[in-house]
Amino acid sequence: MVTVVLIGALGVAVALACAGGVAAWRARASADDRVAEAVASLAAGMHETMRDLAGALEGAQTTSRRRDAGLPELASSLELDEVTERTLEQAAGIPGVDAVLVDTAGPEGTRLMRTIGMLDEEAARTAVPVPDNDNIRAVEVTFHYRIDDVENASPVVRSGVVVPLRADGLPIGSLAAFTRTTAGRLADVELDELERLAQRAGPAFENARRYTEARSLADIDALTTVHNRRYFHETLAREVARAHRHHRLLSLIVLDLDNFKAINDKIGHLAGDGVLTEIAERTLSVVRSADITCRVGGDEFAVILPEAGADDASLLAGRIARAIAGRPIPGVGILTVSAGVAEVRAGDTPADLFQRADEALYRAKGSGKGRTVADGDAG
């Protein structure tokens, strides 16, 4: 009964999270933060509910403590990486298992394949699909090698068992366990334990996948599809803390379209939205894959540059400016941007770094626009 309540509560909560994510995608920029706050609040509530229900479920178990070890942890997490790591660890803890492979549905149509005890290349060679058949409990496989000198001590995979991962009655992937010994197949008791783990892991993977997709939508600016203001402040705080902890470089660019109010007055706000979308696309075309581009205000954008100093940030700001001004925008013509650059200093808070970059931006605009000013420049 408790298990049913747990799964039902989780299904309802995740459905609401998805609805919140879709609303965030369709909402305009002014609604992004409200939706994001709702998703964050819902996530916190889900975590608390899962902990409470998982605790009740743990207390209700009366048999096979080792068999059910890890159930509360799997059920209570909505983080996909966390669910994956715990599933791998629990499967690897089954007696006789030397390597584990998880292959399941990831966010937005991707595939998630993770291993423990084997390299990705070996996983690709040994992966065995499970036929789409509800009656199949598991697929057992034995590996035979042509070379006779593959001995007991050899690290090659000898045999394995693959069990399906299902959620809401539908297949979403598989969980495979392998042994490197010649002692034979996994015993029935180990197979039973792997199957029970897969039954718990399937819904946990699906819930985490849906939550990841919903959270991703809540992090995106609905107009330009770059990250939104809330995500910017969260990420800047995380990167500043990381830079201080590991003594790494970190820089920030804040840029603003010149004379955008006049553009809106000339072509209207709807067409002005199209201009902002084009600016975002041109910015994304020149930033590094490690850089984080965000819309932080009406026509104000920011780029967080991990592992980059102020000189590199100034060079990137120049590339962005040239990409934007390099060709006219229909109905508007050539546009320019002003940019401010700042590099993190010892003792900086995220607000300190942002304020210095923003002040540099306003010096750039005050000194003629269409230029980049770095923090510390005379202006």
pLDDT per residue over 33-89, tens digit each? 544 554 454 445 444 434 443 443 343 333 334 434 444 566 567 888 889 999 999
- Has domain 229-374 been given CATH number 3.30.70.270? yes
Q: Are 117 and 100 in contact (CB under 8 A)?
A: yes
Catalytic residue among 299, 348, 358, 375: 299
**pLDDT, greater one: 282 or 62:** 282
Residue 53 confidence (pLDDT):
37
Q: Residue 30's pLDDT band (boundaries 50, 70, 90)?
A: very low
Beginning with the edge strand found earlier in the chain, give each strand of the sheet holding 292-295 in spatial order.
292-295, 300-306, 250-257, 337-343, 372-374
Token digits of residue 4: 């049913």
Range of lowest pLDDT (69-83, 162-176, 294-308, 348-362)? 69-83
Q: CA 4 from chain center: how many Å?
A: 29
Residue 128 confidence (pLDDT):
84
Q: Are 320 and 282 in contact (CB under 8 A)?
A: yes
Mean pLDDT score of the chain: 80
**Looking at the predicted structure, is the pLDDT value of residue 308 above 70?**
yes
pLDDT digits 0-9 by tens, 107-135: 888 889 999 998 888 888 888 888 888 88
**pLDDT, greater one: 295 or 25:** 295
Q: Residue 2's pLDDT band (boundaries 50, 70, 90)?
A: very low
Residue 121 confidence (pLDDT):
83
Residue 65 confidence (pLDDT):
40
Range of lowest pLDDT (70-79, 186-195, 260-269, 292-301)? 70-79
Q: What is the pTM of this model?
A: 0.54
**What is the pLDDT averaged over residues 289-293?**
94
Token digits of residue 282: 């041109």
Range of lowest pLDDT (61-75, 154-168, 269-283, 345-359)? 61-75
Q: Residue 202's pLDDT band (boundaries 50, 70, 90)?
A: very high
Give 130's DSSP letter: P
Token digits of residue 281: 């696309």
Q: Torsions phi, psi of 364, nearest 5?
A: -65, -45
> Is there a catalytic annotation at residue 68?
no
pLDDT digits 0-9 by tens, 216-273: 778 899 899 999 999 999 999 999 999 999 999 999 999 999 988 888 888 888 888 9
Please state which architecture CATH assigns to domain 2-218: 2-Layer Sandwich (3.30)
Q: How far apart are CA 128 and CA 285, in angstroms?
A: 39
Residue 22 confidence (pLDDT):
38
Q: Residue 15's pLDDT band (boundaries 50, 70, 90)?
A: very low
Residue ranges, CATH 3.30.70.270, the chain:
229-374
**Looking at the predicted structure, is the pLDDT value of residue 307 above 70?**
yes
**pLDDT, greater one: 142 or 22:** 142
Residue ranges, CATH 3.30.450.40, the chain:
2-218
Residue 8 confidence (pLDDT):
40
Q: Where are the alpha helices (DSSP H) in the chain?
A: 2-26, 29-60, 65-68, 71-76, 80-92, 120-126, 188-218, 229-246, 260-267, 269-284, 310-325, 350-366
Q: Where are the alpha helices (DSSP H) in 173-309?
A: 188-218, 229-246, 260-267, 269-284
Residue 147 confidence (pLDDT):
64
